[in-house]
Structure 1
Amino acid sequence: MGDFGFQTGDWRVRHRKLRARLVGSSDWIEFDGTCRAFELMGGEANVEDQYLDDPTGAYRASAFRRLDRATGQWLIWWHDARSSVLDPPVTGRFEDGVGRFFAEDSLNGRPIRVRFVWSDIGPARARWEQAFSADGGATWEVNWIMTFEREGA
Structure 2
Amino acid sequence: MTNPTTSLPSTGAASDFDFFVGSWQIQHSRLKERLTGCQEWEHFEGSSTMQKLLGGCANVDDNVIHLPDGDYRALTIRSFDASSGLWSIWWLDGRHPGRLDTPVVGGFKDGKGCFYADDTYNGQAIRVRFLWTQCSELGQPRWEQAFSTDGGDNWEVNWVMDFRRTDGMAGTPACL
For the 8 Å contact 1:3–1:43, the answer to whether it is kept is: no
Unaligned stretches of 5+ in structure 2? Answer: 1-13, 171-176
Q: Give the number of the structure whose alpha-carbon radius of gyration is greater.
A: 2
Number of equivalenced pairs: 152
Unaligned stretches of 5+ in structure 1? Answer: none
Partner SS for 1:63 = strand
Distance in structure 2 (CA, Å) of the matches to 1:63 and 1:16: 18
Identity of aligned residues (%): 49
Aligned partner of 1:81 among 69, 94, 107? 94
For the 8 Å contact 1:6–1:121, the answer to whether it is kept is: no
Whether 1:36 aligns to 2:43 is no
Shift in Å at residue 120 of structure 1?
4.1
Partner of 1:26: 39
RMSD over equivalenced CA pairs, Å: 1.4
Q: TM-score, with normalisation over the residues of structure 1? A: 0.95
Shift in Å at residue 94 of structure 1?
0.3
Report the AA paired with residue 70 of structure 2. G
Whether 1:129 aligns to 2:144 is yes
Q: TM-score, with normalisation over the residues of structure 2? A: 0.83
Q: Larger relative CO (CA 8 A, sep 6+): 1 or 2?
A: 2
Q: Which has the higher strand share?
A: 1
Shift in Å at residue 51 of structure 1?
0.2
Residue correspondence of structure 1 range 1-153 to structure 2 within 5 A = 2-83=15-96, 84-121=98-135, 125-151=140-166, 152=168, 153=170
For the 8 Å contact 1:11–1:149, the answer to whether it is kept is: yes
Shift in Å at residue 125 of structure 1?
2.1
Distance in structure 1 (CA, Å) of the matches to 2:108 and 2:56: 14
